[in-house]
Amino acid sequence: MILNVSGRTDIVAFYTPWFINRLKEGFVDVRNPFYPKLVNRIFFKDVDAIVFCTKNPLPIIPYLSEIDIPIIFQITLTPYHKDLEPKLPPKGKIIEGIKQISNIIPKEFLYVRYDPILINPTYTLNYHIKAFENLCCKLDGFVSQIVISFVDHYKNVENNSSSLQLKDITKEDLKIIGTYFSKIAKKHHMTVQTCAEKYDLHEYGFLKRDCVDFTTLFKLTGKTHFTKWKARNNSYCNCAKMIDIGAYNSCPHRCKYCYANFKEETIQNNLKQHDPNSSLLLGYIKNTDKVKILSDKRSHLYVE
C-alpha cells in the first residue's frame, strides 16, 4: 500500500505534528470524501511507501529520521507571486529545504514539480522560461527530476477566472515550452517529464514516464505488487494506486489555481476541526461512523 500525503491538502506544510502523532500511534483514519460515514483505518505496518506531496517541506525535515518507511518526495515549486499563492513562504527557503532533503534521501526519489504552468498577461512564456532556468540553476546537483503539468479548469480556477486571466495554451506554446525546458533541464543535469497530461512533449526531449511509476517503486521497496491508480477525472494518469489520507477544503495555502480547495467558505470551518491528537485529520470518529480496516494483500486492496 502506498500513502499519498497528500493530494487533497498540504499535510506536510500545515499538519506535520498530526502526521507524526499518527506514525507514533501506528495507524491513521481517513474519512471517505464521497461517503462521509465511511472511515478507513490504515495501519502503518501495512504501508510499503509514502509519497509526500507538498509546497513547503520545511516542517517535516526534522522528523525524517523518525520515519522508517520508504519515501518519495514531490515538492511543488512554482514561480508565482502573492497574487496567485498568497500564503506560501519565500521560495528561497523552500529551495534550501529541497537541498536538505536531497542530502537525506536518494535523488532518484526526489521530484520537483513546476506545476501547474499557466499563462496570462503577467506570467508569460518568456517569464516561465526565465523562471525555469533560474530554478534549475539553483537546484543543479541537488535535483535530477522535474515534473511539469498545465493548469486545469477546476471549479476553483473558474471561481478565480477574473484574477487569473488565463490564456489558452496553443500548440506553438507547447513547442516553445517543450524545446526550451528540455534544453534547460539537460544543461543542469536533469530530466523533465509531464504528469497526467494530454499534451505529449516527448518529441522535444521530455521523458515519457509517470510521476509514481512501478519501476521507481520497485527500486524504492523491492516489491512489485502495486496496481494502477484509476484516476477519477484523468485518463492520462498511469501512476500506481495510492491512498490519500488528506481532506479537501483544508489547505491554508489558498492558491488561486488549486483543485483541492473548491469551497472557500468551508476552509476556515474545516481548519477549526483539526486536532493534532485526533486519528482523523479533521474532527473525530463519530458513533454513526463505520470504521473499516484497509489492508493490502495479494496484489489488491481489500477492506475487512
Predicted confidence pLDDT, tens digits, the chain (304 residues): 999 999 999 999 999 999 999 999 999 999 999 999 999 999 999 999 999 999 999 999 999 999 999 999 999 999 999 999 999 999 999 999 999 999 999 999 999 999 999 999 999 999 999 999 999 999 999 999 999 999 987 777 888 888 899 999 999 999 999 999 999 999 999 999 998 788 889 999 999 888 898 999 999 999 988 988 766 566 667 788 999 999 999 999 999 998 888 777 789 899 999 999 999 999 999 999 999 999 865 333 333 3
Length, in residues, of the chain:
304
Pairing of strands 300-303, 290-297: antiparallel
Question: At a CB cut-off of 8 Å and minimum separation 6, what does 55 contact?
Answer: 10, 13, 75, 76, 77, 85, 88, 94, 253, 255
Domain spans in the chain, listed from the N-terminal domain onward: 2-26+47-272
Torsion of CA 21, 108, 111, 75, to 10 degrees: 20
According to the model, what pLDDT value does residue 234 have?
A: 61
At 292, which helix (H) or strand (E)?
Answer: strand 290-297
**CB neighbourhood size of 119 (10 A):** 20
CATH fold label, 2-26+47-272? pyruvate-formate lyase- activating enzyme (3.80.30)
Q: How far apart are CA 219 and CA 223, in angstroms?
A: 8
Buried b (16+ CB within 10 A) or exposed e, 36-70: eeebbbbebeebbbbbbbbbbbbbbeeeeeeeeeb
According to the model, what pLDDT value does residue 209 have?
A: 84
According to the model, what pLDDT value does residue 115 have?
A: 94
Beta bridge partners of 291: 39
According to the model, what pLDDT value does residue 197 have?
A: 81
Pairing of strands 38-43, 191-194: unpaired
According to the model, what pLDDT value does residue 162 have?
A: 83
For 61, phi and psi rounded to 5 degrees? -55, -45
Strands across the sheet with 290-297, in order? Answer: 27-31, 38-43, 290-297, 300-303
According to the model, what pLDDT value does residue 298 have?
A: 36
Helices 171-187, 125-139: axis angle to 10 degrees equals 20
